[in-house]
Structure 1
Amino acid sequence: MANIDPPLPAGEPTFQILFHHPLPMWVYDLETLAFVDVNAAALARYGYSREEFLSMTIKAIRPVEDVPRLLANVAQLRPALQHSGQWRHRLKDGSVIDVDITSHTVTYNGRPAALVMTHDITQQRQTEAALQRLNRTYAVLSGINQAIVRLRQPQALFEAACRIAVEEGSFRLAWIGLVNEASQRIEMAAQAGEAGDYLEKINVDLDDKARRAGPVGSAFLSGKHVVVNDTAQDSRMAPWRKDALRLGYGAVAAFPLKVRGTSRGTFTLYAREAGFFDVREVALLDDLAEDISLALELAEQTEEHRRAEAQLRLQSAALAAAVNAIVITDRAGIIQWVNPAFTRLTGYELAEARGCNPRDLVKSGQQDPAVYANLWQTIMAGQPWQGEMVNRRKDGSLYSEEQTITPLLDEAGQITHFIAIKQDVTARKQLEAENQQLLTQIYQTQKMESIGRLAGGIAHDFNNLLVPIVGYTELGIAKLDPGSDLRRDLERIKNAGERAAQLTRQILAFSRQQMLEITTLDLNEVISNFQHLLTRLIGEDIILETHLTSGLPTIRADRVQLEQVLLNLVVNARDAMPDGGRLLVETAPVTLGKTYTAHHAGVKPGPHVMLAISDTGQGMDAATQQHIFEPFFTTKSQGRGTGLGLATVFGIVKQHGGHIWVYSEPGRGTTFKIYLPLTTAPLSTAKVEPAEGGSLAGTETILLVEDEPGVRQLVRDTLLEHGYRVLEAGQPEQALALALAHTGPIHLLLTDVIMPHMNGRDLYQKVTANRAGLKVLYMSGYTDDIIAHHHVLDQDVAFLQKPFTVYSLLQKVRAVLT
């Protein structure tokens, strides 16, 4: 060994003894920092040979980052034995150890040097670090457990756990993730620490093979902790390695959070140092994750209990508030509970109903026993039963209900209770009956209208046949002596034709297709003036009474048609009282409300005048009432009626915009009520009054336009025989040609209203374009509403209704020309 000059702590033999100490020792030059001597213990511990050691400087065994501190320490060395602190040394294999150094300045071979002795404290430091980590982990465990006791909401607990892990455990990042079942991703629920953008990018997709293999996905799927102690090297961190290293995450540990054995999420911790997580720390963190899991489970149970209680309260409130009656019975049918709706339906309170069988409370006796047998057979088989029943309330009144009875089963599948839900359908059943009645009324009205259209069409055609029959008969009678046998035969033909015309007028009245002479009328005055005729008509054994409300509002109506209504109804009442009785005629102003009109098809609400005719006769059953307004329907014996009386009344009332309803029961008489509106728009038919007396002959020229040959011939012959000059046309186009070709005057256009290609009004307008001052007389057998549609019933327009007589024709022509 080389010579070492004083000063020395002892003599050279002492130094040599120390130099052979079992702890590593060496001497290095203070100026060059080169090793100049080294003992065997240093060679053994650091792994270098003597030659390698002596070829290096003391900087070679220091980590690069520690060299500046080393140089500063060397510069401060003073002659004396001193403790220079704890350092890190790098061994030949690259590993780094912690050492405690004691050094002393010496003179070695005449040069200033330092004698260094090292004590390896690596294990001690590791133990201390482990203890510190354990202490921090215990602090985290304690803090989170306190949070578990204090916090009941999972979200608040998650946030506290992450914060405590970072603050007390010195973890760089802590986060809790929960699984999203829909997306199959672990999504962040809470976090604390240096996260940067890491959690935004982490995307733990359980359907992605690489990402589910990471520590978070693996811990969740396996239900066990996963530790990655070296993020730089572990392949499981491949998807996130770059960001993890950038943010200083050296080690990662993920712990599953499980509820009832099923993973719900993970608690993941990130440490700065690689190798951070040892066995003892992981075991403590496992316990911590279990504590958090238990807290989560308890929170879920608490929430489930809260929801269950809320659900029970809701169900209880719903049952109590339900509109339908609800009854719960035991297996034997004994009532356990009823809701308030049951009380409202039946009148029985819960206290009265509990312990009773429903049959003892509400059974009405209206059901066939087979219904109850089927009910019990069904529900005892575990099947629900549905049906309708008529039951009795506490006050004795009956009601209809729909009910569903459902068996309630226990876990063993045994019936324990029955629940019955009852709906009061009394009003609905009544409404259904009323709707059925209303549908019947609508059907009856439609049927009557269809029959009316058919009958009206037949009557119109029949009128065209009657016009020439009656007309030519009149012409023939005028040419014969009063005592002629032929004249008497023609008069009989004329009378038959007039009866046929009357029949067609009745049919037109029923079908609402007759012409009306609308005027403003006082219905009371019409009845009073007609009463003497009605009295003679009914005979002495029937008492006629009138109750006419004074100040009755006026109506717009045809007086003759109202008299026909009165006549037909009174005759009908008389025939229903063969042994005498009482006949009452009443009037009154009424307002029909929406309630009434809702139950009577076609009736509009508003003010009306009512005419009621009541008798004490035989009455009618419901089946008869369904047909009484049909034409040719009669209950009278053969030869006593045509069956058109009530049909005519029906048609007249409808044509006036009114409504008629019958009220009758067998043996209790009949009442007909007629409602006529006060505001029906008038159909003003301006009539040209015929001249009284004077000749019916004339010399004027008349343009006759009629598409029915028989009618046209009769009118032509009648006019010619009475001195008129006639231009005859069967079509409007022919009439226009005649008017243009005729060089003399034309005094009157006598035209049918409804013709092919052109109506009478349009024809008149075309003719008067060249013949100003031309007068017109329209004739038609069509209905007043169709005629009105063609604008020939306007004010100051002359009109002749078919069928007409020769006399009425000549009278009307003379009146228009005069």
Structure 2
Amino acid sequence: MKTLSPLYIVAVYFLVSLLWLVSSDYYIHWGSPEWAFLIEPLSDICYIILTSLLLYLLIRSSNRRLQASDANYRDLFENNPQPMWVYDPVTLRFLAVNNAAVSHYGYSREEFLGMTKRDIRPAEDVPAFLEDLEEVVASPREVRLWRHRKKDGSSLYAESTSRSLAYGGKPAVLVLSQDVTERISASNRLRYHEELLKSVFDRIPIGIALAGPSGRFEEVNTAFCRIFEADTDGIIGTHFTSLLRPEDARRMAEAFNRRFASSDDPGAPWQELEISVPSGETRWILGKSAMIRDVHNNPRMATFVNDITESKRASREREAVLHELQNYKTILDKSALVSVTDPEGNIVHANDLFCRVAQYSREELIGQNHRIINSGHHPRVFFRDMWQTIRGGKLWRGEIRNQAKDGSTYWVDTTINPVFDEKGKLIQYLSIRYDITQRKNSEERIIRSEAALREAQTLARIGNWEFQVAGQAIHWSDEVFNIHGLDKEKGEPALTELEKLYHPDDLPLFRQVLTDAIAHGTPYNQDLRIVTPGGGVRHVNIIGKPEFDEAGRVVRLSGTIIDINERKLVERHLQTQNEELKKINEELDRFVYSAGHDLRAPLMSVLGLINIAQLDESGAKKDEYMELMRRSIHKLDEFIKDIIHFSRNARTPLTPESIDFAGLLHEVVENLHYMKGARAIQTHLHVTQELPFFSDPKRLTVVLNNLLANAFRYSDPYKPQSFVNVTVTVDDQGATIRIEDNGIGIEREHLDKIFLMFYRATESRSGSGLGLYIVKETIETLQGQIRVQSRIGEGTSFSIRLPNLHADHPADPAPQAETVLS
């Protein structure tokens, strides 16, 4: 109900008064004069009564309307679904609260009315609230965001809208509070996820780029810039084809345009592309693109790129290794009987040669135990010892007599190697066998021939003996006494005395074969050493054969003893010669091709110069020809020196001596100053050696001489100052040698081949191609390792780690030389 305004009341009162005055004056002036004295005061009285009554009616009507409006406002206040309250802006005390505030905040109405606005704020927010209080009172209609505290201690975010009013005749503020906690929380989560997404976008190792329909990049992440070696500003706004090779750019652009023109983009599969980056490096990337739409539903092409250069290179290297392994397997399959069993000994693989020799098909062998080819020749203890060895994770090697499917037997030289997984669990046994049947047959024929010869020739220093197990009685023939150098008249020695006649190192073996023969009936044929009364050592061959009683017990051992001292000496000599011949043949095979070419090239050059000189009758260029011949002969001499160094490294044993690195380096550098341009190169030697260091000085000289000669030889003539830095540090474990130069460097494609025999990374300088090969072989002989780092145009660095070969500093087994690409 609308209340009457003061202006409205005044207007009505004015009109009524004016009407009364006009009408009353009319009656006074135009009525009976005799009644004029009475009418005038009566009109005034009536005027007062009438105006008072009218004013009363107007005020009562206005009050009714005001009460109705106040009731409506109070009903709207109490039943509003949003919390509302009225508070005193001076004391901040609550004057009224609605039902929604009581329900939402958890305080009762009485508790609310006993509190101030400070009481519904967290303690940490009160100072800020008090600071903003004047501004809040001055601008009550402004929407503000506050943090409120409920009765249970929990907090909420509220947006408060205020309005000034009079309450109880005093100034007050009406507040409408809206809980926006969920909205704030959602906004915070959205902001967090946006920041998280941006962080992931920038930090993810996969390159990501967004391009519009024009094909120009609009956004890229850090990984994308790193892959293409460009910064963000350099990529944004450029066309994506500018990053591709020409042969790929047209094809990718056509596909890009087709996909944007299509209403249904099916996506694109992952593709491998080869790219060139500003540094000149060639890289391989794996890329995929997908059509997406932004918040305005505009299409964008998202591209995902991953640098697979290293994996591509590793894959190629892995393929090369697998190819090499396949070649080895092919060779092995043609020459050896190969089988694989599970940990229980069941066959899971057998190669063709195994099947052919055993005369079983592969299907017949798979799943079977190797007992299928057991000939019964070997005792159980033989296989028990074998299994004990391989189950212990050790390699076992021995000769086994097997039986083929047709009943024939064959001998194999067998090596069984346990195979473990990456966790060290035994998973397989790999067996490699070589057919030695012909050799064993020859050995058996030789044994039989030797036995016949021993029986027929009593003068061949062969003696017979017997041993009675029960009484431990020993019987010797005359020749046994002669072999041992004992007097027959003194009789056979007792068993305890007999043991003293054997060499201390061979006595355990003699006891073992004797014990096995008595306990298990195992015959034996063993070479042992005996010690004669004069202190001499002789080699003898003892053959023992057990004899059994009806119960199967060993009651007697009998056999022969042969003086094989001369034969052992001859065998040892032949073995040494064979080993040396084998090594020489292997070395000759490796040198024959490349060495023949490198030896003939200088000689042919000299021969050609001689022919040219003979044709030059004037002799004007004689000195030039002589200089060229000198260079060819010097090159031949350098090559021969390399061959000598290689030969010495392969043949001579290690001779560790105390090493003075400072003196050794100065000597090597001084010897290399004859090289062309060597004196113009600054050579810096830094040696830190406070501990004694032992190694082979000759081999160490060869290593330093080759590396420093290369540093001088491959210096960069276009640099204002060439240098070679040599740093040596000796610690309690060994020595570290680092040789750095700023020469021409080695191209990356050659780094993994420079240690190969006869390999040259460049033809622009002289060299045999043996130097670094000799360095690597020599360092491995010294039980060390070498690393190399190089950048073309910047220089090369060799790092060598050598162990201390002194007896107090035993070295670990030599690791393989390692090449580090850089």
The TM-score normalised by the length of structure 1 is 0.29
Higher Cα Rg, which structure: 1
Q: Which of 1 and 2 has higher RCO (CA within 8 Å, sep 6+)?
A: 1
